[in-house]
Structure 1
């Protein structure tokens, strides 16, 4: 790469082809809609763990129900049933993941202008409606279902499921190396807003009239003003009943880094680089935004056993509400805008392949195994020297 500004590589042109290979086993499935018609061909792609036995679609006689289910929430009647063996060698917390095409599971479910949710279910009483348990992506547990629109048509057609063995999403509730999962999506007609409280650093994301429907709510987070040092921006998710003041243990277990800035002076032109992220939370949850100053969260956690001991290297952001859809956080460093996304917006391909970047600096293409992916890589640097990449 020559020069010292921005260099773009078109991965589909000029002979510079990026070939992505993944050892993901894909299972092709067919599903006949409940109203008849041509069968739907779909795929099931484990990205962590091994499929045990067959994958089966179940058209339920009655939709699963949750305790005290609000009228705004509807759960689908088509479930998918499978078992995944956890790959202990590649997962430190005994989890398994798979990517599933949503179309069969949406059979008969009206999702127009609604927020999506996901559930695992069980049938403890023969003949009764199945009992559902929420399994929407939960940033507290760092597991659950995330929805993606990979073809850019505005509708989610893909769901990425992350199960925790013996925990979130695992029907048998036993840590035995196998995830058992009958599950189905749902949709909630909710109108969440962003709210803050004077003297608190917590941002609440909830529908004031329905704080219990466990639907996914998307937030766009962007740095609007850069700090003088290179800082990390992250968040800790809290349940509605938890204190707004985060603990060291919550920061260690739930802390998620979403952005980092370049210094506010003597930096290259970043106009072509997207410096924002979309995160998924559950309706009714709270977020505390934080900034790591001129260091990394990993480093601070390894060197300190309390938040107080981190000193000026760690700070929670003060919040200023502009309206129900926009809140700005800052505290002498970066200014961060948090924007509520409407129900028609879904996470896309970039969000799927970068979903693990809060833990590792990687792009994970295993969820799109078998697809041809093209894109542009933009590189920005301050040096005037030639660079060799390879």
Structure 2
């Protein structure tokens, strides 16, 4: 699907290659987005293949071979160890296509060590060495694949999610206006605001996290937990809030997108991602771009971005560690004060040059 966090990456890839992206989904389940607004930001060619077979979370789309014959690409890239990737390798084994074939693998280190299903493990073992290249999210995952499958590092492209700082931070006056409105509407001035952005789904472990930190919220009058998003676990969260008597301490402003969302990063003191399963976590990039310190799950791929200067890492499955790190994090972050983007210095380095160097392995 066309995702906000992929746009900058694909736009930059289009400067290195003549890129065309074929999407097999037009939306993410449980996530409503303004698709037209996203499409307007794309500088690369794209199309949608939506006809095909769906079995659970797996899909197979019709028309792939025809598209390859028409486009005549030099390089074809699938995703994960999916049916699409397997089909591409099958076509090549029959001699029907001859292109270089790779795949984007979004695994975190935790996912590398704890493969989700037996089917995926079989696909991994049968596929990794047959691909001409792999695209992974971090150097740690690259080293894992090099060691496990005896792969040359030149066969692995390290390409974490790339979002361009100047694009997200453009129109500062508008962003500051959104932020100021949020601060006034929810009475956040002078409060230490812990922000979460994303879906309310089981892998984010929000109910467990909220239940764990509820004593902290009960004790601290200066702290607010703001959850921006929507999802099936909203009811479970609401139940915990009532049981723990922390109404007013936990806020649900709704779902936001683009600049209206970015305004929330300016309205907060720190960001938290308590996921128990997270390939990467693009919201970590966004938080750091807006100068927001991050309390990040050690199970998230984006934990590789966190250091002593921009946040803390915690074990979301360990209640003791979670409480300890939340208390420490709250001591480190500052209450919401004057809204000023220029004072929020980015806490993430610009790795566009690294991105270009890695992808040039295919040239």
TM-score in terms of structure 1 length: 0.26
| Bigger fraction of residues in strand | 1
| Bigger fraction of residues in helix | 2
TM-score in terms of structure 2 length: 0.27
